[in-house]
Structure 1
Amino acid sequence: MQISRLFDLINYQISTYDKDVSLARKIDGTWKTYSSRDLKKIADNLSLAFLKTGIQKNDKVAIISNNRPEWNFIDLALQQIGAISVPMYPTISSEDYNYIFHHAEVKKIFVGDEDIFHKAKEGSSDMEAQIISFDKIEGCDYWEDFMALGEDGDLSVLEAIKDTVKNGDMFTIIYTSGTTGRPKGVMLTHSNVISNLFAVEDRMIVPRGESKALSFLPLCHIYERTGSFCFIYMGISIYYAESMESIGENLKEIQPQIFNTVPRLLEKVYDKIVSKGYELTGVKKSLFFWALNLGLKYEPNKNQGFWYNFQLKLANKIIFSKWREALGGNVMQINSGASALQPRLARVFWSAGIPVCEGYGLTETSPVVSASISNLKEIRIGMVGKIVKEVEVKIASDGEIMVKGPNIMQGYYKQPELTAEVLEPDGWFHTGDIGELHEGNYLKITDRKKEMFKTSGGKYIAPQPMENKFKESSIIEQVLVVGENKNYPAALIIPSILGLQDWCRHKDIPYTTNAEMLQKPEILDKFQKEIDNLNKYFGKWEQVKRFKILPQQWTVETGELTPTMKLKRKVIHQKFAKEIESLYS
């Protein structure tokens, strides 16, 4: 069966796999599942309801919700009538909602819960747009009642309308969260994402028709959304995690073969594992750190000899097996993207039989440009995999990664001048990332072009590799390297409280409160030693001369991180301007 529009995936899954569980979500302690045929019936009824309420081709409809099957239902239903979805993060402000609602001219807004409903209501108070909720909320229309409007509709009319939807039609506008300024609306077509779906599928090793995926990254981000389309195509059952806090519990319960993640979450998993190691005593503690040190020396495609291999096999049996159990015991492939993964984490996880496959891409590229496959011979630590099929990459004279292919966006909605800044007439897209090609088609990211800065001495600083290195410290959770137009680099540091507590326990230092501990001379001395040790990996002009420890973690909710957990540099610079200035006074 030919797949030329994304909604064709529904019939493809029915004809190929006819899944009992296509999508699932836990409600009140029980998993509610939807089969392939349920997916078709619900999407058809919703499409007919949209038609009955006046939604036509190219009309815009917002979706603001955490991951749940209803998100997919609305997305697919809109596609079938040629309407355009405008997915949005539940975490952004009502002011941002207002801007996007107006800019996209949305006619309906679907929300997940009561908190989002109130923000969306405030954000749409100066316009006419019906709000419909996935949860039952007083004073808000309910999605099942809306769907009921289409239950007596004419399916032949729907089929005729589906035939008018073409491969090159726009199906979504995704407003990039961005690290600066107003969000831009990335216009993607069916063909953009379908081409990328097949490129991603080429990197998947899990069994088709019988595997399970746990989904927790936001569906409003193209990374998880394209991944979900790929899972539907491959007949992989998608289970939505209850929340970010329940991921560990859901992994053990679902025992998935695959899931997508971001490095920040893998860092947290690793820190939690190491923290538990510090809690051990005697022989158990010695064995734990013996295994961990073996993992830190691991090279996926290098034979390190009989003695190392023997020890690693033993470590896998007595230590790393417990790590795999914590992830459900069946994981064959973890896809990591959205930002750089620390090489030491990749080594440790691979050594433990937990395959973490890095990839690279942007919303504007649908998103995947390069990806790793879960194969020891093909993994290159520190790189983001091979360029995927049908995508071309070249490195510009200034080191910028340029991309061309069927996955490249149509442009930024209503912003032709911004489109012209990044999209060349011959189709080459400026990613804004700096990188290198190795062995012909292995890609390595070295920094963000816009994040690089010059010191007052005229030396260029690439902050991202430095920040990744500093985060290797067990007591550093987050870090921002600063110093533009200053005479030396400095850093704002968010401490790892778990790591700090472990270190204090190891040194027999009584731990009181976070605020008090971060003022103690021996703690400050420990941070200085960590910075001094890690500075050795950089040139003299790059080394961090001074730092400031901040007590409060940077989060999506407090505004310092994007929803994919990247640093919002401009926001942090503005928010902590006094602290940064104090590093140079």
Structure 2
Amino acid sequence: MDLNRLFDLIPYQISKYDKTVALGHKEDEVWKTYSSKDLKRIVDNLSLGLLASGLSAGEKVAIISENRPEWNFVDFALQQIGAISVPVYPTITTEDYAYIFDHAEVKMLFVGDQTIYSKASEVAAGRSIYSFDLIDGVDHWHMLEQLGETGDLARLEQSRSRIKGEDLVTIIYTSGTTGRPKGVMLSHSNILSNVLSVAERMTPPAGVSTALSFLPLCHIYERTGFFCFIYLGFSVYYAESMDRIGENVKEVQPDVFNTVPRLLEKVYDKIVARGYQLKGLKKNLFFWALDLGLRYEPTRNMGAWYRFQLRMANKLIFSKWRAALGGNIVQINSGASALQARLARVFWAAGIRVCEGYGLTETSPVVSASIGTPDGIRIGYVGKVVKDVQVKIASDGEILVKGPNVMQGYYKQPDTTAEVLKNGWFHTGDIGEFDGDYLKITDRKKEMFKTSGGKYIAPQVIENKFKESSLIEQVMIVGDGRNYPAALIVPNFEALHDYCRRKEIPYSTDAEMIVKREIREKYQSEIDGLNKYFAKWEQIKRFRLLDEPWGIDSGELTPTMKLKRKVIIQKFIDEIEKIYQPS
């Protein structure tokens, strides 16, 4: 059948796979599932209920919720009547809620739970609100579904038939690392073309059929990933929360999931921390296997002796890693920020295929993606450009993108749109280079800065290298207009605890430990070892340790865990000034 609109994916899945389990989620500690036909029935009834409620094509509806089946029910239902979804991150501020509601002219809200309702209702300004959880005094989404059960399916079919691929389907407000978020306008064709292109990079082998969803569906990365899972016939299970991913992975035993490097870093750090707790031969075997993994290169012949050792390491050590991820993982898709090369090496060595990709909200999102085979992966690169997308590198190194996945523009911001869309090419703001067909991202154009000596610094490259230290949880490089670059560092306090235990250094509080001479000397030693990878003008001369991690709720990170550099600089300006004071 033809696929022209996103909601066409539902009858497509029924015709090709007719899944007994299309979606699944935990409800009262039990996994509740929906078949492909359940999905269609609920979505159709909800579409009719929305029409009966008076919602019209072109009107905007906000969805504010953690991942759950209702999120996608509403998304598909809005698509079928031509209404435009406005997904909103639950964790952003009330002020941002108000800005998005007003700027997008939102008419109706769907909220997940009591916490989100309390926050959204403050600034809803008379808009109708429906909830996914049962909340006293709030209309439940089932009311709309039940309203549509007696609706006229012929009316719904007329509605669907009027919708074209080029019609606007969603406005996604970007994370806002700099100033107010911008509303990215994406059509059915924008997203669907990307789904079909990405599916070619992750076509599963026979019998592979389960995905775990935990990245926010309000971000285009997980949302396009979800549509891709529907297209490929995966059963999609929603994790209960970010804190429960470990348990849910073991329960669901997924074949694939999407993630961001930050979560893989945490998994790796926990594994290494457990390794330090081992004793004797077990500890020696663990770090022997880890060293083998860190030297792994998928595209190079490592020799018979290395391959033999790696087989032993997989049997003795890495098999436990795979079991902790459910035992069935075929592919993990990593995006949204740079993946440390050492993590890619060790996970691939362990038989856990982490495939890095690159994209932006404005490109629906995938521009390039890795193929999950040893001869198709290139460590440190974000894969090859996907089908139907073109990429070229501008004279200043900026990555430019053209294709059916490129957005229609920023909502109500024609001037801003014109700044980034020129002659059909979207100017990404990222700096990159090609090695043959493989794309590599080197930095963000706007994040590069110049020292007072006139030298340009690419902070992301340094930050990614520094995070290879097990003692460094988060880091941001500063130094714009200064005479040398410096670093704000949030220690990995779990690893620091372990280091102090091994060195018999009494541990009091995090705040007290980061000012101790022996701890500062240890971090100086770590920095000295990492500085050797950079030119003299790029090397970190001084640093400050911070005792509180940066987070989304506290405002230093975007919902996709990118650094809000301006916010961090403003918040820690006193610490930065102390760095540059004469010692």
User: TM (normalized to structure 1)?
Assistant: 0.98
Give the Cα–Cα distance (whole angstroms) in 2 for the partners of residues 504 and 373 of structure 1. 41
Q: CA deviation at 1:580?
A: 1.0
Hey, what does 1:69 align to over in structure 2? 69
Structure 2 distance, partners of 1:449, 1:210, is 39
**C-alpha distance in structure 1 between counterparts of 2:177 and 2:333, whole Å:** 23
**How far apart are the structure 1 equivalents of 2:274 and 2:208?**
34
SS in 1 for 2:357: strand
SS in 1 for 2:475: strand
Question: What's the counterpart of residue 448 of structure 1?
Answer: 444
Pick aligned residue for 1:219 from 197, 217, 227: 217
Letter in 2 for 1:54: G
Q: Identify which of 433, 438, 444 aligns with 1:436.
A: 433
- What is the Cα-based RMSD across aligned positions, in Å? 0.9
Aligned position for 2:510: 514
Q: 2: distance between equivalents of 1:578 and 1:262?
A: 31
Equivalent-residue separation in structure 1 for 2:574 and 2:44 (angstroms)? 56
Percent of aligned pairs sharing the same letter: 70
In the alignment, which of 138, 141, 144 is matched to residue 142 of structure 2? 144
Is 1:2 matched up with 2:8?
no
Tell me how far apart the structure 1 counterparts of residues 379 and 466 of structure 2 sit (CA, whole Å). 18
Which SS does the other structure have where 2:429 is aligned?
strand
- Preserved CA contact (<8 Å) 1:205 1:374: no
Alpha-carbon distance in structure 2 between the residues aligned to 1:288 and 1:504:
21
Residue 347 of structure 2 is matched in structure 1 by 349
Among 539, 545, 549, the residue aligned to 1:543? 539
Instruction: Give the match for residue 236 of structure 1.
Output: 234
How many Å separate the matches in 2 of 1:11 and 1:196? 19
In the alignment, does 2:360 pair up with 1:368? no
Give the distance between the partners of 1:480 and 1:262, measured in 2 at CA: 18
Q: Distance in 1 between matches of 2:69 and 2:338?
A: 30
**Displacement of 1:505 after TM fit?**
2.0
Paired amino acid for 1:8: D
Deviations for 1:316-373, whole angstroms, at most 9, x for unmatched residues? 0000000000000000000000000000000000000000000000000000000001
Distance 1:561 1:21 in 2: 35
Q: Which amino acid is the alignment partner of residue 488 of structure 2? A: L
- CA distance in 1: counterparts of 2:106 and 2:53, whole angstroms: 14
Offset of 1:527 from its aligned partner? Answer: 0.4
Does structure 2 conserve the Cα–Cα contact (< 8 Å) formed by 1:209 and 1:234?
no
State yes or no: 1:557 paired with 2:526.
Answer: no
Deviation readout 1:396-428 (Å, 9 max, x if unpaired):
00000000000000000000000000001x210
Residue of structure 2 equivalent to 1:180? 178
1:51 CA drift (Å): 0.6
Is the Cα contact below 8 Å between 1:210 and 1:235 reproduced in 2? no
Q: In the alignment, does 2:197 pair up with 1:199?
A: yes
1:156-171 to structure 2, matched below 5 A, reads: 156-171=154-169
Deviation at 1:533, TM superposition (A): 1.0
1:413 corresponds to 2:448: no
Contact 1:112-1:134 within 8 A present in 2 as well? yes
1:322 — aligned with what? Answer: 320
Deviations 1:240-266 (A, max 9, x none): 000101111111111100000000000
Letter in 1 for 2:456: Y
Per-residue displacement from partner, 1:432-459 (whole Å, max 9, x unpaired)? 00000111x2100000000000001110
Contact 1:260–1:335, Cα closer than 8 Å, also in 2: yes
Q: Which moved more, 1:45-54 or 1:507-516?
A: 507-516
**C-alpha distance in 2 between matches for 1:316 and 1:179:** 41
Q: Which residue of 1 aligns with 2:19?
A: 19
2:463 is the counterpart of 1:467: yes
SS in 2 for 1:187: strand
C-alpha separation in 1, matches of 2:207 and 2:230: 9
2: distance between equivalents of 1:78 and 1:270? 40
Instruction: Indicate if the aligned counterparts of 2:203 and 2:232 stay in contact, CA closer than 8 A.
Output: no
Q: What is the CA–CA distance in structure 2 between the aligned matches of 1:577 and 1:94, rounded to whole Å?
A: 26
Hey, what does 2:357 align to over in structure 1? 359
The answer as to 2:525 corresponding to 1:529 is yes
Offset of 1:149 from its aligned partner?
1.4
User: 1:54 & 1:478 partners in 2: Cα distance?
Assistant: 49
Distance (whole Å) between structure 2 residues aligned to residue 106 and residue 352 of structure 1: 47
Describe the SS at the equivalent of 1:436.
strand
Matched, 1:390 2:388: yes
Distance in 1, matches of 2:531 and 2:81, equals: 57
Q: Which amino acid aligns with 2:135?
A: I
Deviation for aligned residue 1:310: 0.7
Paired AA for residue 62 in structure 1:
A
C-alpha separation between the residues in 2 aligned to 1:209 and 1:559?
A: 43
Name the aligned partner's letter for residue 70 of structure 1: E
Bigger drift between 140-149 and 162-171 goes to 140-149
Unaligned runs of 5+ in 2: none
Asked if residue 49 in structure 1 is aligned to residue 53 in structure 2, the reply is no
The whole-number CA distance in structure 1 between the counterparts of 2:115 and 2:108 is 18
Displacement of 1:238 after TM fit? 0.3
| 1:210, distance to aligned residue in structure 2 (A) | 5.0
- The alignment partner of 1:86 has SS state of strand
Worse-superposed segment, 390-399 or 511-520: 511-520
Shift of 1:208: 6.3
The residue type equivalent to 1:161 in the other structure is: S
Residue type at the aligned position of 1:248 = G
Tell me if structure 2 keeps the 8 A contact 1:209–1:236.
Answer: no
AA partner of residue 364 (structure 2): S
- The amino acid across from 2:158 in the alignment is A
Q: Is the 2:57–2:82 contact (alpha carbons within 8 Å) kept by the matching residues of 1?
A: yes
Q: Distance in 2 between matches of 1:516 and 1:166?
A: 61
Distance 1:178 1:341 in 2: 22
Residue 76 (structure 2) pairs with residue 80 (structure 1): no
Aligned equivalent of 2:40: 40
> Residues 302 and 485 from structure 1, CA distance in 2 versus in 1: closer, same or farther, beyond 3 angstroms?
same
Q: Say if 2:92 is the partner of 1:92.
A: yes
Distance 2:127 2:11 in 1: 32
Alpha-carbon distance in 2 for matches of 1:139, 1:483 = 53
- The structural deviation recorded for 1:209 is 7.3
The aligned amino acid for 2:104 is A
Cα deviation, 1:48-89, whole Å, max 9, x if unaligned, reads 111111111110000000000000000000000011000000
Which residue does 1:280 correspond to in 2? 278
Measured in 1, the distance between the counterparts of 2:348 and 2:208 equals 24
- How far apart are the structure 2 equivalents of 1:529 and 1:210? 46
Structure 2 residue matching 1:95: 3-state secondary structure: helix
**What SS does the aligned partner of 2:538 have?**
coil
3-state secondary structure, aligned to 1:541: helix
| Separation in 1, partners of 2:347, 2:205 | 21
| 1:206–1:258 contact (8 Å) kept in structure 2 | no
Instruction: Give the aligned partner of residue 250 of structure 1.
Output: 248
Match of 2:568 in 1: 572
Q: Deviating runs (4+, > 6 A) in structure 1? A: none
Q: CA deviation at 1:521?
A: 1.1
Q: What amino acid is the match of 2:354?
A: V
Kindly provide the amino acid, as one letter, of the partner of residue 550 in structure 2: W
Would you say how many aligned residue pairs link Structure 1 and Structure 2?
A: 581
Distance 2:266 2:416 in 1: 36
- TM-superposed CA distance for 1:511, in Å, is 2.3
Task: Tell me, in whole angstroms, the C-alpha distance in 2 between the residues paired with 1:571 and 1:340.
Answer: 21
Q: Please give the alpha-carbon distance, in whole angstroms, between the structure 2 residues aligned to 1:112 and 1:539.
A: 50
Could you tell me the TM-score, scaled by structure 2's length? 0.99
How far, CA to CA, are the matches of 1:136 and 1:210 in structure 2? 35
Following the alignment from structure 1 to structure 2, what is the Cα–Cα distance between the partners of residues 242 and 578? 39
**1:478 partnered with 2:498:** no
